[in-house]
């Protein structure tokens, strides 16, 4: 789940988007096969010629020092303002070489943030939280979107990732909360004062995400001297292989993707040292993926459920879930979500995502019904007590079972894309801190997942080559 403005190599993986990244992208779901990338673009505005101030001496009647060839036949008819504009444009052109490109890029980022990505300036842009989320997703797609192989990140891209992420994450330095702190005066008097510190979710999660970020970059840097290489799919020519050390392996994948480079190994396969190194890096990346996914899930859980999502829920949880799944959830006293998933015979991750959306919708439908019961007046509650108590208990039980089924489904399919509720939360979220943490954890989760998939591709090819040699 490595590009520059329009991707580096063809000229930020998040999230769908602006998501984006990634540039307008949707909130990215991560691909389940190696080599998937976010296909997003980012455009850079040109330097405006109207931003430079006019010099005081530019109104002088003396001839311009700029080397324009005068048209004598029309010079006397040329308005003063026209000559002034011509001189100003020429001076700006002369000064463009001295413009700091990094400063101009920062100006553009700041402008887009203030405008909410609405370049018309009419105030119809998205909120600050969504803008920052899209910016992080876009940056990831720009730098990692075309990075489909195990190799170190180029120094300029690594520097850009660190510089821009530091800038985007700096907003978290000013999201604080006040906590009590004891302070002793010189005379021994104890006072309780209020001290500011980063908000609790940022205080806990942001340092962890920075650490995971550094670990992923370190993993990629570890593939400097490697025994394998890559050939573009469908072009296994001698130009793309190493002389005397290539054996063509037809890799049968579940989903053929012609744009994904194919890993190649020597005729005898990789050395034991290289295989051990790959397994170690795979295990590390897998643990990082789990940690980033856990942080992302916790942030999404803390986000408020948008009213638009609640309004779109069906009136019946059974209608959302389907008769077959509903029957499995209601007919047994001892509910087993694993048993239900086994009986449903889910054939693909697409079916798993559809089921997750239905289960989540039915869960909130039943919860809403249970809450509506308790929101009645006391007289209505007494009057309907005997007739409604069983239905209320049933709604509560079904909601709990749906929640456990959803949890089990996500455990069985850890690479599952974000559900409709998750996407809706990101779209309507207004909390800048949550938006920053969610997008940061999401792109790290995607990068870790891709690294694991790329390593498994190399190990698969290595195993195939060694089996052919036997």
pLDDT at res. 154: 92
Q: What stretches of 198-271 show up as alpha helix (H) in DSSP?
A: 200-221
CB 216 within 8 A of CB 448: yes
Which tokens sit at 160? 């850009």
Q: Which residues pair with 180 in a beta bridge?
A: 194
Q: How far apart are CA 63 and CA 58, in angstroms?
A: 10
Confidence of residue 412 (pLDDT cuts 50, 70, 90): confident
For residue 288, what is the enclosing H or E element? helix 272-302
Q: Is the pLDDT of residue 304 over 60?
A: yes
Confidence of residue 470 (pLDDT cuts 50, 70, 90): low
pLDDT digits (tens, 9 = 90+) for 372-398: 655 544 434 434 443 444 444 688 888
Confidence of residue 221 (pLDDT cuts 50, 70, 90): very high
pLDDT at res. 430: 94
Q: How confident is the model over 334-357, as a mean pLDDT?
A: 88
pLDDT at res. 238: 37
pLDDT digits (tens, 9 = 90+) for 38-47: 333 322 333 3
pLDDT at res. 415: 76
CA-based nearest residue to 250, from 453, 33, 465, 455: 465
| Residue 110 or 82, more confident | 110
pLDDT at res. 35: 37
pLDDT at res. 62: 43
Backbone angles phi, psi at 154, to 5 degrees: -60, 145
Confidence of residue 414 (pLDDT cuts 50, 70, 90): confident
pLDDT at res. 278: 95
Confidence of residue 428 (pLDDT cuts 50, 70, 90): very high
pLDDT at res. 102: 73
Q: How far apart are CA 175 and CA 132, in angstroms?
A: 14
Q: CA end-to-end span of the chain, whole Å?
A: 35
Q: Which residues pair with 231 in a beta bridge?
A: 262
| Residue 330 or 284, more confident | 284
Q: What is the mean pLDDT of the chain?
A: 75
């Amino acid at each position: 789940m490595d590009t520059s403005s329009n991707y580096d190599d063809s000229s930020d993986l998040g999230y769908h988007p602006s998501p984006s990244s990634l540039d307008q992208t949707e909130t990215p779901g991560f691909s389940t096969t190696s080599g998937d990338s976010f296909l997003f673009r980012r455009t850079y505005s040109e330097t405006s010629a109207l931003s430079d101030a006019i010099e005081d001496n530019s109104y002088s009647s003396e001839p311009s020092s700029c080397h324009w060839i005068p048209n004598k036949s029309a010079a006397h008819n040329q308005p003063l303002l026209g000559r002034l504009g011509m001189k100003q444009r020429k001076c700006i052109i002369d000064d463009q070489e001295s413009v700091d490109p990094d400063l101009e890029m920062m100006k553009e980022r700041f402008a887009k943030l203030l405008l909410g990505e609405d370049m018309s300036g009419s105030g119809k842009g998205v909120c600050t939280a969504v803008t920052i989320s899209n910016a992080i997703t876009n940056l990831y797609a720009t730098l990692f979107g075309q990075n489909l192989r195990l190799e170190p990140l180029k120094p300029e891209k690594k520097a850009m990732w660190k510089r821009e992420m530091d800038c985007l994450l700096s907003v978290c330095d000013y999201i604080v909360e006040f906590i009590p702190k004891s302070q002793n005066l010189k005379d021994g008097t104890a006072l309780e004062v209020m001290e500011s510190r980063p908000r609790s979710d940022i205080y806990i999660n942001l340092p962890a995400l920075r650490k995971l970020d550094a670990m992923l970059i370190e993993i990629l840097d570890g593939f400097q001297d490697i025994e394998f290489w890559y050939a573009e799919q469908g072009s296994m020519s001698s130009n793309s292989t190493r002389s005397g050390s290539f054996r063509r392996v037809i890799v049968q994948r579940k989903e053929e993707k012609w744009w994904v480079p194919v890993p190649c190994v020597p005729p005898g396969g990789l050395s034991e040292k290289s295989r051990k190194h790959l397994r170690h890096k795979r295990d590390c990346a897998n643990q990082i993926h789990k940690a980033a996914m856990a942080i992302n899930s916790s942030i999404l859980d803390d986000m408020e459920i948008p009213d638009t999502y609640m309004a779109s829920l069906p009136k019946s949880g059974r209608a959302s879930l389907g008769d077959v799944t509903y029957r499995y959830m209601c007919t047994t006293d001892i509910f087993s979500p694993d048993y239900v998933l086994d009986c449903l015979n889910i054939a693909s991750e697409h079916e798993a995502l559809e089921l997750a959306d239905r289960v989540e919708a039915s869960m909130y439908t039943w919860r809403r019904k249970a809450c509506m019961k308790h929101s009645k007046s006391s007289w209505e509650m007494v009057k309907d007590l005997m007739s409604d108590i069983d239905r209320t208990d049933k709604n509560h039980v079904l909601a709990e079972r749906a929640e456990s089924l959803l949890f089990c489904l996500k455990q069985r399919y850890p690479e599952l894309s974000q559900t409709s509720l998750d996407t809706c939360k990101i779209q309507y979220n207004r909390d800048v801190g949550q938006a920053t943490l969610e997008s940061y954890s999401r792109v790290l989760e995607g990068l870790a997942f891709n690294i694991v998939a790329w390593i498994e591709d190399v190990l698969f090819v290595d195993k195939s080559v060694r089996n052919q040699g036997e």
